[in-house]
Amino acid sequence: MEAMEDILVIVGLIGVQFLYAGTSILLGYFLKLGLQPFDLIIFANSATFLVLFPLSISFERRKWPKTIAYSLACELFLLSFGGVTVYQSLLMKGVTLTSPTMATAMPNLVPGLVFPIAWVFGLEKLKLGCRYTRAKIAGTLLCVFGAILMSLMQSSTSLRGNEAKAEITGCFYLIASVFVLSLQVVLQAITLSHFPAPMSLCSIISVLGVAITVLIRMVSDRMSLPKWPSVAAIDNIILYSMLTGVLGGLCVSFNTWAVKKQGPVVVSIFNPLATVLSATFSAISWGESIAIGSYGGMLLMFIGLYMVLWAKRNEEYEESKIVPLSNEDDDGTQRPLLC
């Protein structure tokens, strides 16, 4: 039974990466059609809320806090504004100027960036004498260097002039989005420590993010109501929203279950697969090519990612031999880990 469960986790995580890659390709396609990022953000996150909220009521109702403290309200606002409005806007701008392959490669920076951010917030200890700390620092530097190399090599070898500048600009949009995402991961870990309901948290972030995005859209349109998309665009927006909402909700739910069964490190190990799949799909469907130097940058990012994951896993194992370590609360709830 346990062996079957392990196989189910592995097959499911591979399937999740296929869905992530497909969603990235679909996003690039719709953006190239001229759909507005704000429209996609509003409709897609509305669909995510509609999918996850009923699940959160069914499975996590007992974990909801009886009252919402001021600190929790601030955390929910920051997660919604940063994780939905800012992060997704930067991501879509980056995808528009680069490619879906670049967009799926950049999030592999997250585990490396989470470490220094968590250290700033006092959630990670910096022990330079510890080999695992040195490995995490080296992995972080490799991730950052790989991302920069991938961006520069792709723009310098395959494009010229204004197109090269646009490619570099798009890569920096993606790097900025990943930095915001890394901040969100740390803040989400803090929030989940006193609100241990990940699906509920995701649904709340989605609906608040939609409200914030609509308000910003109204302000940007000089306090008028947001311009409604054209009839031709509505069909594509609904299709994208349904796919990302339903599939995104299922992926979040499965990843939550997989983290509880196998831990966050095992789940993170499969992330680079989405980049490989996205590059393959892009080459087949659009004839898109990736520069050899960019593949070298991706390889450095993957090496840095696995160095950070290896160090985190072994560091937790060493600590467990000193102090009985469990990432479950007394009621069996999985506590969040940063990497």
pLDDT tens per residue across span 204-213: 999 999 999 9
pLDDT tens profile 241-272: 877 777 777 787 787 677 667 666 667 777 77
Cβ–Cβ contacts within 10 Å for residue 307, how many?
23
Helix, strand, coil percentages in the chain from 3-state DSSP, rounded to 5: 80, 0, 20
DSSP letters of 42-63?
HHHHHHHHHHHHHHHHHHHGGG
| pLDDT for 74 | 94
Supply the pLDDT for residue 335: 45
Q: pLDDT below 50 — which residues of the chain? A: 324-339
pLDDT at 206: 92
Torsion, Cα of 119, 122, 125, 126 (10° steps): 50
- Token pair for residue 26? 């679909």
- Integer CA distances (angstroms), 287 to 178, 274, 283, 337, in order: 26, 18, 4, 39
CA atoms of 47 and 24, how far apart (whole Å): 17
* pLDDT the model gives residue 47: 87
* Token pair for 171: 């890569």
Using alpha carbons, select from 38, 20, 147 the residue that is nearest to residue 96.
38
pTM exceeds 0.85, yes or no = no
